[in-house]
Amino acid sequence: MKDRIEENNLTDVEAVMKKFDRESNMRVWEGLPKRIVTVILACFSLFCIYVTLFANMLEQARMTSFLGLVIVMGYLLFPIRKTHVKVNTIPWYDILIMVLGAGAFFYYAINANAILNMRLAVRMKDIKFTIIGVIGILALIELCRRCVGLPILFVAGFFIVYTFAATKYANPVPRVTSEIFYGDNGILSTPINVCSKYIVVFIIFGAFLERSGVSGFFISLANALTGRFAGGPAKVAVISSALCGMVSGSSVGNTVTTGSMTIPMMKKTGYRPEFAGAVEAAASTGGQIMPPIMGAAAFLMADYLGVPYSSIIVKAILPAALYFMGIFIAVHLEAKRLNLKGIPKEELPRFRDLFKDTYLLLPLVVLIYLVCSNTRTMQFSAAVSILVAIFVGVLGNVLNYFRSEKKTGSVLEAAVGKNGGFSGKSILDSLEAGGRSCVTVAVACGVAGIICGCITLTGLASKMIAAVVAVSGSSSILALLLTMICCIILGMGLPTTATYCIMASTCAPILIQMSIPKIAAHFFVFYFGIVADITPPVALAAYAGAAIAKAKPMQTGIVATRLAIGAFIIPFVFAYSPSLLLIDTVWHEIILLSITAGIGIFGVASGLSGFLYVNMNIVERVITLVGGMLLIMPGVKTDLLGIGLVSVIFFWQYTRHHKEKKAARLS
């Protein structure tokens, strides 16, 4: 019976993933073909690791060979339609597109030296180069439609049409093709360069880390920390999703995987279905802003800004802490309002037992140390961490062998996974999963490069800066609001990586022009590209959570937006006060800022929840909200006024609560 329930849960999760996560709609391979595809994907992962660490080749040759392999992997995995369910079948036209598309990129890789030494005018006159470029671009775009979706293609299509309309060349096709396919500002620009050099290795590391058992450890740790308190399952969801989300880097994927466990627990405790789905969606989405991994876009930010990745991690700590603090407080207040209990103590894992599994954190500890030491490259740090993850998996097998009462086989057999657990097959599965996940990110980066190339070729960025400055009348707040709207609209249909690439090329320069610090401008667009996953009307993470919770999708999205309100407020704060990003500040200012901002988030969360000790009226809610927002904004005057407002409501609520309790006892 238990096995049947678990099987049904897995089926539900798979159905939700296929509906809301385009990456899950793949061809069905079974038997020998499946094993062949697995080996191909594993070899692709090994190629990525080898090239990023050891290969001494031209950057253009490295990137085009990487994209050629991505085209091969992509057409092996993704069918032309979602409804394509034939087992072990790939149509002839997919093979043709795959061969031609991959061939175009491989041709560039083989002839990279000659192409780079060739003048633009000569390349434009040779129709062969135009045909090869057009084939490569179209194959990449079609693969993007299959694995990423149409929204990014609408954006890319708009920019391509604008480029042809805006260029005044007699024969624009060779020129545009040459710039986008062969140039340094098109497909082979920063997004795909960073993806092929850094992101893929970290994605593969994430696949190994998940299979080492760390996700289960995070969930158990969250249960041990908060499960026994009021509304425990929701607090477990917040902590576990924050920890697991920074590894997965996918809002929808994290919502579905951790939500399949936490959402039913929340509903059983007494939370409304819409609230349960929203908590999981908001926490899972926030995983991408959680150091140290922060999803793929953070690596791009480090490259765009020309700063070490460790610097990005440090600056992201306080905003991420405030974000999750806001969600945590909101679920606590909701639990108090509904008088919900925690999970019985006897059903929770014990810290004594969890301590024995802390070795699972070793890969993350090694990664953080290497990245923050700045003595090694990021890709080297990830590669070493992969080896540590394999070691941890093998160590886990050995420890489980000695812990089990009934020991079968030898210690050596346990180490290599003969008794189950992490094994050679686990390593192969990790490499396969890493290669599979790399395809979608790489394709999104490639198409984002097309968009960036169009913007560069037409000079659209400078025109947009002039237009926004003219519309906003030099008002930075209006420019920030317009940028926020653009990021959310784009992010509703695009992966975070692609959204950030586009906004970093278009909107971040606008904010910098409006005297917003450069790093704050990039963090601003980064944040709003992420929260688009929980912002209606296209809140995919919230809708995935609603599907698991059997809740109303739109209402779940609205609740998720309320819970994640910190992500909508904090970017405006650090745009005006970069000290929130630990810029130009000292340690005692950081401590004071953390305390006041934390109280401010408490005020905002309680004001939006409408509950502290008892239900708030509209006046109390407004005062608490205003006080909380004043506290989040750094400054002595705003802090004093904010503390005053929040304190008044706090003591008023406390007094009302005790009066009501006293009246209840007397009656």
Q: Where are the domains of the chain?
A: 15-189, 192-394, 585-667
Number of C-beta neighbours around residue 662 at 10 A: 10
User: What residues pair up with 87 in beta bridges, in sequence order?
Assistant: 28
Average pLDDT over residues 257-275: 88
Can you give the pLDDT at residue 70? 96
Query: Which helix (H) or strand (E) is 434 found in, with range?
Result: helix 424-458
Taking a C-beta distance cutoff of 8 angstroms, is the pair 334, 234 a contact? yes
Global pTM?
0.83
Structure confidence at residue 18 (pLDDT)? 60
d(C-alpha 135, C-alpha 131), whole Å: 6
pLDDT at 21: 59
Q: Give per-residue pLDDT as tens, 301-328.
A: 888 888 888 888 889 989 999 999 999 9
Q: Minimal CA–CA distance to 553: which of 532, 538, 565?
A: 538
* Burial of residue 476 (number of CB atoms within 10 Å: 0-12, 13-18, 19+): middle
Which residues have CB under 8 Å from 490's CB, separation 6+? Answer: 151, 155, 499, 502, 503, 529, 532
Selected residue with higher pLDDT from 270 and 11: 270
The pLDDT tens digits for 87-121 are 888 999 999 999 999 999 999 999 999 888 887 77
Taking only the tens place, the pLDDT of each residue in 418-434 is: 544 566 778 888 899 88
Tell me what pLDDT residue 22 has: 55
Strand locations in 240-355 (E)? none
Q: Which of 295, 297, 252, 260 is nearest to 276 (CA)?
A: 260
CA 143, CA 159: separation in Å to the nearest integer? 18
Rg (CA), the chain: 26
Whole-number percent of the chain with pLDDT over 70 = 91
Please report which confidence band the pLDDT of residue 10 belongs to, taking 50, 70 and 90 as the band edges. very low
**What's the pLDDT at 410?**
57
Asked if 49 and 205 touch (Cβ cutoff 8 Å), the reply is: no
Of 463-467, 502-506, 650-654, least confident by mean pLDDT is: 463-467
Residue 200 φ then ψ, to 5°: -60, -40
Q: What is the DSSP letter of 289?
A: G
Where is pLDDT greater, at 218 or 38? 38
Report pLDDT digits (tens) over 327-384: 999 999 999 888 888 888 888 888 888 888 888 889 888 888 888 777 777 888 888 8
How far are the Cα atoms of 25, 144, 282, 600, 609 from residue 625, in angstroms, in the given order? Answer: 43, 43, 20, 8, 10
pLDDT beyond 80 at 168: no
* Residue 6 predicted with pLDDT over 50: no
For the chain, percent of residues with pLDDT exceeding 90: 25
